[in-house]
Structure 1
Amino acid sequence: MTNDTTNTPATAIDNTRLAGLLAFLQEAERLKDTLRSGTTRQNRPESTAEHSWRLCLMVLLFERELAGIDMLRLLKLCVIHDLGEAISGDVPAPFQTPDDDREARERRDFVDLCKRLPDDQKAEMLGLFEEYNAAKTPEAKLAKGFDKLETILQHHLMPSADAEFHTFNLGYGLERTNALPLTRQIREIVDQETRQIIDQRRQEKAD
Structure 2
Amino acid sequence: MEQPAAIDAARLEGIAAFVQGAEKLKDTLRSGITSQGRAESTAEHSWRLCLMAMLFDRELGEIDRLKLLRLCIVHDLGEAISGDVPATLQVEGDGRAVQERADLVTLCAPLPDDLREEMVALWDEYSAAASPEAILAKGFDKLETMLQHLVGKNPPGFDYRFNLDYGAKHTARHPLLRQLRGLVDLETQKRVTATP
Superposition TM-score, scaled by structure 1 size = 0.91
1:128 alignment partner in structure 2: 122
1:205 alignment partner in structure 2: none
The runs of at least 4 consecutive aligned structure 1 residues that moved more than 4 Å come to 161-164
Amino acid at match of 2:123: F
1:8 alignment partner in structure 2: 3
Q: CA deviation at 1:197?
A: 1.1
Tell which structure's C-alpha radius of gyration is larger: 1
Distance 1:95 1:195 in 2: 21
Distance 1:89 1:164 in 2: 22
Residues 115-194 of structure 1: pairs in structure 2 closer than 5 A? 115-162=109-156, 165-194=159-188
User: Quick one: which of 10, 33, 36 aligns to 2:30?
Assistant: 36
Q: Over residues 110-167 of structure 1, what are the superposed CA-to-partner deviations in whole Å (9 max), with x where a residue is unaligned?
A: 0000000000111111110110011020000000000011111111112225565210
Q: CA deviation at 1:43?
A: 0.5
What is the number of residues matched between the two proteins?
A: 196
**1:49 lines up with 2:39 in the alignment:** no
Where does structure 1 lack aligned partners over 5 or more consecutive residues? Answer: 203-207
RMSD value over aligned CA atoms? 1.4
Where does structure 2 lack aligned partners over 5 or more consecutive residues? Answer: none
2:95 alignment partner in structure 1: 101
Q: CA deviation at 1:100?
A: 2.4
1:64 alignment partner in structure 2: 58
Amino acid at match of 1:8: Q
Superposition TM-score, scaled by structure 2 size = 0.96
1:25 alignment partner in structure 2: 19
**1:199 lines up with 2:193 in the alignment:** yes
Change (3 A) 1:118 1:147: same
Describe the SS at the equivalent of 1:37.
strand
